[in-house]
Structure 1
């Protein structure tokens, strides 16, 4: 993949330290016409971010050595226009509240329903040029 800033604007970045989750989400998104650049390490994503425009980042909350929330804080400094969707496998009521407070566009528990996740990804990309980071509550 060519990684120039102008070409990467339509690429969704996925950061999750679980390789099987990365593969699964990448396949789902790409099958539905979304280009994905997946990262297993937050630091590698940050290096990519320094040379590329990222409209949407999907971040796992529980990663080492940097959590998704810590990664979001770096995003706020380096790329405040980037929308963020947080994902997590750990059921934690506090996590959704923290995601909202961190300015997340949305929050999903893994495994999630593609029929809810995909439209949210598309809306986040559509809204990525707008000011602010409206939080979309994903409750059943």
Structure 2
């Protein structure tokens, strides 16, 4: 878990904010509390590591509306919802929209802390994966259009002969393109090249 991670608590109930801050800080984690979604948005710098502990029902922008806004903006901050019994259906809907967990009131401290640590671990892994995807995307940008075509066909499982027929070139030419693709992508094997293609597939059309 990253040491610079912060647990952001957004709840309009001051007593609840104070109680959550004390509980979470008692485990050595950094906490910031906010009384509303608007105050949180005014302070939050996109890209900060951590997770968001969010009350479902709040005056003004609700917890679900804040989650939806963060998703639309492309923010990757993991969300945990705190919900009353009457809000469970909404919380489930929010989880389907990307929230990691919801904690029902009254909750056990251990359950909440376990969920927070899972969210922080998820955030750390997600950030590491994002760095890898960005590096692969940079390598892809170095390929020529023809090399890009060859990589697509190679990772789709076509043989050199099939690629040559599809592109109207010789198998030797395909071999040369394939060698340059492997070099530029820094792939040690076809399996590694396929894994790279799969990793960036949601962000980069091969």
Within 2, Cα distance between the matches of 1:73 and 1:67? 10
What is aligned with 2:24? Answer: 29
TM-score by length of 1: 0.79
Q: Which has the higher helix share?
A: 2
- 2:112 match: 117
**1:63 paired residue number:** 58
Report matched runs for 1:45-84 at 5 Å: 45-50=40-45, 53-84=48-79
Select which of 15, 39, 53 maps to 1:20.
15
Quick one: distance in 1 between partners of 2:70 and 2:38? 12
Question: Higher RCO, 1 or 2 (CA under 8 Å, sep at least 6)?
Answer: 1
Query: Deviation per CA, 1:25-57, whole angstroms, max 9, x where unpaired?
Result: 111000111111000011010011246614200
Question: Where does the alignment leave 5 or more consecutive residues of structure 2 unmatched?
Answer: 127-206
Cα RMSD (Å): 2.1
- What are the superposed Cα offsets for residues 96-115 of structure 1, whole Å, 9 maximum, x if unpaired? 32121221110011221011
Contact 2:53 2:80 in 1 (8 A): yes
Unaligned runs of 5+ in 1: 1-7, 132-140
Q: Paired residues, what number?
A: 125
Residue 101 of structure 2 is aligned to residue 106 of structure 1: yes
Change (3 A) 1:120 1:93: closer
Q: CA 1:80 to 1:37, structure 2 compared with 1: closer, same or farther past 3 Å?
A: same
Question: CA–CA distance in 1 between the matches of 2:118 and 2:22?
Answer: 19
How many angstroms apart in 2 are the aligned matches of 1:87 and 1:122? 15
Please tell me whether Structure 1 or Structure 2 has the larger radius of gyration of its CA atoms.
2
Please identify runs of 4+ aligned residues in structure 1 that moved more than 6 A.
Answer: none
